Amino acid sequence: MVPGVVEIYSVPKIQASTFANVILNKFSRKLTQDKARGGAQAMLYAVGVTEEDMNKPQIGIVPIWWEGNPCNSHLLDLAREVKQGCQSEDLVGLTFNTIGYDAITMGTDGMRYSLPSRDLIADSIESAQHYDGNISIPGCDKNMPGCVMAAARHNRPTIIVYGGTISAGVRQVDCPGMGFKKGGMVNIGDAFESYGAFLTGSITEEQRIDVVRHACPGPGACGGMYTANTMSSILEVLGMSLPYSASIPATWPEKKQECYRAAGYMKNLLAKDIKPRDILTRKSFENAITIVNITGGSTNAVLHLLAMARSADVPLTIDDFQVIADRTPFLCDLRPSGKYLMEDLHKVGGIPALLKYLLNHSTLIHGDQLTVTGKTLAQNLEGVQELDFTTQDVVRPLENPIKATGHLTILKGNLAPSTAVAKLTGKEGLIFEGVAKCFDVVDDFYPALERGEITAGTVVVFRYQGPKGAPGMPEMLGPTGAIMGAGLGNSVALITDGRFSGASRGFIIGHVTPEAQVGGPIALLKDGDRIIIDAKTRNLEWLVDEATQKARKKEWETSGKRPLRETRGVLYRYARDVAPASEGAYTD
């Protein structure tokens, strides 16, 4: 191996005998071979399918492509590489599309469509996937769980190729107010935090613009262990993507190589009839939850894994996340709470090197789980070198973790009788007690911050932001970024029935259920109420006596329950049908 270069697997030569007497086109042949389907055959000829092609397996290629953000802007180009790979393997690749929609809407009403887009993606692929196999190419956060949910539903051989992580940006001016220098690394998390720093006078307009201008230097998903890279890591550990898919940067040549090679693996899946539900098992989901805790991944993983498991009929509950977190150390020093980006993890061996280390030195990972290579997770790692702790500190050894147990924390208490989800890395502290300041509208928060109303000891509460309330359970990256940028990250907590971006950090509690829209206790809070967040006991307590709680509940009920914000369209349908966040916020 060339120093500094990570090798990815090449497709082994498949003997012709492997495919002898095996029907690879058992679905598409219903259209291409049946004389009664002449209309369908005529349409295929019209789009360039040849007579020879009519005997070949058809593969649906799904880039979650759009031009509007770097996570997805390059995915159509990657789909073309996949299509060429299909041609080289005597497969017919047919490209179709679905929506790509996510982080660019942060802080606007558009963010209400972000989580619903996951289910729209799943529905779209399920509806259109009438081919023999599927190769999906997701980029941003909700793309990946949407692809897995669809795969579990149609259950035809599937490979998911992650579009890749973005490379780091470079600062062009000094930023002493936030402790940064010209030439240093900058990423999208800094762009969100720069606004709070600007509002409170910590940085100048020139410094703010420098961050915004250089945080995203080109294609790829947000570069830390934010939600996109959390989900790509999950896909690889689940076995639904090829080794190294999670960490190869979007612009590296290896990403196009992965796309081209995917068809060889697909042909093998068709021959062996290996389907998503053969790969998506209880043990593979346990592996996925483990890797989220090892890497310090996003709280969105809880929502998505619950929904993905349900689509695959795999039993999984929110309490399972705490059980696994309690036995899993937090090892990776990755943004947002740490120092490094996903690209740095790739340079030291990526997810395969991390898995090899865990398999060799712990019982945290089930190595016997089947993957899209046709081999088990452990077999995929046979030629992989372990992490070298003498040359890198992106990942810590098991005996020297960042935190002895996982950062994902499932809380309960009288403020969250069902559950709430926190991402507590240990750097925030373990207990926070403060006074509530409530916002029913997120936009009201920023003027309050600028006026100096958000001070040390404040528990900022954003409510009516849940799956039904917003509707769509928008992310609170804008407020968390503003709090960090204002220098209040260590002295202010935030609680919401909405979600957080993977780029959010601090003493933050989300996914509070029951949500405010259905009358959960979070709806009954008033400014000045005292709240305790205890990560050690996993309690979220509202320090108001029961008589007051009952009086406020009666007041809320008699004042008239809030009607749904939307009465038509996709958000109305979502609010009407969506399950609680504690169950994965599914809609089917």
Which residue in 501, 504, 559, 582 is the catalytic one? Answer: 501
Q: Report the Cα 115 to chain-centroid distance in Å.
A: 11
- Is 501 assigned a catalytic role? yes
8 Å CB contact between 522 and 497 = yes
- Residue 234: phi and psi, rounded to 5, are -60, -45
Q: State the distance between the two ends of the chain, measured CA to CA, in whole angstroms.
A: 47
Q: If we measure between CA atoms, which residue out of 256, 291, 290, 101 comes closest to residue 164? A: 256
8 Å CB contact between 62 and 125 = yes
8 Å CB contact between 107 and 477 = yes
Give the angle 250-254-258 at the CA atoms, nearest 5°.
95
Q: If we measure between CA atoms, which residue out of 242, 47, 71 comes closest to residue 142? A: 71
Give the angle 323-318-433 at the CA atoms, nearest 5°.
80
Q: Which residues on adjacent β-strands are paired with residue 137?
A: 63
State the Cα–Cα distance between residues 379 and 233, nearest whole angstrom.
18
DSSP-derived secondary structure letter, 422: E
Distances 3 to 7, 327, 349 between C-alpha atoms, Å:
10, 34, 11
Give the angle 388-391-397 at the CA atoms, nearest 5°.
50
Sign of the alpha-carbon dihedral angle for 176, 182, 184, 186: positive
Task: Return the C-alpha torsion angle 543, 544, 546, 549, nearest 10.
Answer: -130
User: How many other C-beta atoms are found inside a 10 Å radius of the C-beta of residue 62?
Assistant: 29
Q: How many residues does the chain have?
A: 588
The number of CA neighbours under 13 Å toward the Cβ of 177 is 23
Both tokens of 464, joined, read: 């009516």
8 Å CB contact between 300 and 502 = yes
Strand ranges of the sheet holding 133-137, from the earlier edge strand across to the other edge: 92-95, 58-63, 133-137, 158-160
Residue 285 amino acid letter? F
State the Cα–Cα distance between residues 323 and 285, nearest whole angstrom.
13
* Active site positions, annotated: 501
